[in-house]
Amino acid sequence: MASPIHATDDSATFKETDVISGNLLSNDSSDNGHLFLRAFDGASVGAKAGNSQVTEIQGDYGTFFVKPDGSYTYVLSDAAKIGFTNGESYQEKVSYKISDGSGHTDVGLFTLNIQG
């Protein structure tokens, strides 16, 4: 029997100077059509204020700002920007958990490649 919810692993590649944003749920699916981001890198993603609520999560090289609707923005830290050399790359790998609001959950992996 197929799972009623499925998180497909995500990856994105950006230059260090790019605006880094996207949506983790764009390639995920749910039988009932409802999906929201429940956790990101082990931290709970707040949803009390609806999809406008932003949860800030510190990564290895910058900060993720995520919303329950799966949208995210990543801000590379100044220290990481200073340390970048041309052709160098950093990688952030984080797990995320999705839910359909009916008790079904699944976990995906997000790999963010940042190139200098």
pLDDT per position as a tens digit, 45-70: 987 666 778 999 999 999 999 999 99
Distance CA 24, CA 74 (A): 12
In tens, the pLDDT along 59-105 reads: 999 999 999 999 999 999 988 888 788 888 889 999 999 998 888 99
Cα 41 to Cα 27, 66, 95, distances in angstroms: 19, 11, 5
Which CATH superfamily does the domain covering 5-115 fall into? Cadherins (2.60.40.60)
DSSP of 15-53, one letter per residue? ETTS-EEEETTTT-EETTS--EEEEETTEE---TTGGG-
Are 88 and 116 in contact by the 8 Å Cβ rule? The answer is yes
Nearest to 20, CA basis, from 68, 87, 93, 71: 71
In tens, the pLDDT along 11-41 reads: 999 888 778 899 999 999 888 878 999 999 9
Distance CA 21, CA 105 (A): 24
